[in-house]
Chains A and B, each alone.
Chain A
Amino acid sequence: ETGVTQSPTHLIKTRGQQVTLRCSSQSGHNTVSWYQQALGQGPQFIFQYYREEENGRGNFPPRFSGLQFPNYSSELNVNALELDDSALYLCASSFRGQANTGELFFGEGSRLTVL
């Protein structure tokens, strides 16, 4: 069973640039969620994708957008990067069945630094 994989692991961008982060979900999972974890903070929900559609969104501006593909992999896109976007971005997959058990399987994250 393959776990959640994310790429790239580290990247550096400058203010105003755009970034795309990628995530492959765990085998058998159909739902992907993205979280932002700033230094010293817990993960903060960005959005969730299910059946290739956004299925819930946290308090993040529209310049944070995403995609889910038919193979359940996902992308997180951030436009017009700001210094405060510097953080660890975590992808988590799960299986959405009849009940949401709340068990998420996390990747190791992509660390974004904005200069």
Chain B
Amino acid sequence: AQRVTQPEKLLSVFKGAPVELKCNYSYSGSPELFWYVQYSRQRLQLLLRHISRESIKGFTADLNKGETSFHLKKPFAQEEDSAMYYCALTSQAGTALIFGKGTTLSVSS
């Protein structure tokens, strides 16, 4: 079964501290993985996708097939990073995104 697990409901850090939002997945084959973000009073939007191997707003995520993980990392958190973060993967049929339950990141000064 395809599944995305985000073990933390809430992650609280201080400004300038490193951040790691955990994501584990279950999938047969080669998954396409994404991180979506929802800032306060904004709509859900794509943050980054693993195939692009890009850094967006200082965030990176590496796909680790051995550990079936796709953790989101940022070396120095900023207050504007406070948001809800969802890890997602494309279903095997390719028509749906399967989301985790999300992690709320709270960055305080």
The interface of chain B, by Cβ under 8 A from chain A, is 4, 32, 34, 43-46, 49, 86, 88, 90-91, 93-102
Residue of A nearest to B102 (CB): A42
Q: Smallest distance from the beta carbon of A70 to chain B beta carbons, Å? A: 21
Q: Is the CB of A56 within 8 A of B101?
A: no
The interface of chain A, by Cβ under 8 A from chain B, is 3-4, 33, 35, 40-45, 48, 55-56, 58, 90, 100-109
Residue of A nearest to B9 (CB): A40
**Interface of A, helix, strand, loop or mixed by DSSP:** loop
Alpha-carbon distance between A104 and B86 when the two chains are bound, in angstroms: 13
Q: List 27 A-B contacts (CB under 8 A).
A: A4-B43, A33-B96, A40-B101, A41-B101, A41-B102, A42-B4, A42-B99, A42-B101, A43-B86, A43-B97, A44-B99, A45-B91, A45-B96, A48-B95, A56-B93, A56-B95, A100-B94, A102-B34, A102-B49, A102-B88, A102-B90, A102-B97, A105-B45, A106-B43, A106-B45, A107-B43, A109-B43
**A104 and B97 contact, Cβ closer than 8 Å, known pairs A43-B44, A45-B91, A90-B44:** yes
Q: Is the CB of A58 within 8 A of B101?
A: no
Q: Smallest distance from the beta carbon of A79 to chain B beta carbons, Å? A: 22
> 9 closest Cβ contacts across the A-B interface?
A56-B95, A42-B99, A45-B96, A106-B44, A48-B95, A106-B43, A103-B46, A43-B99, A42-B101
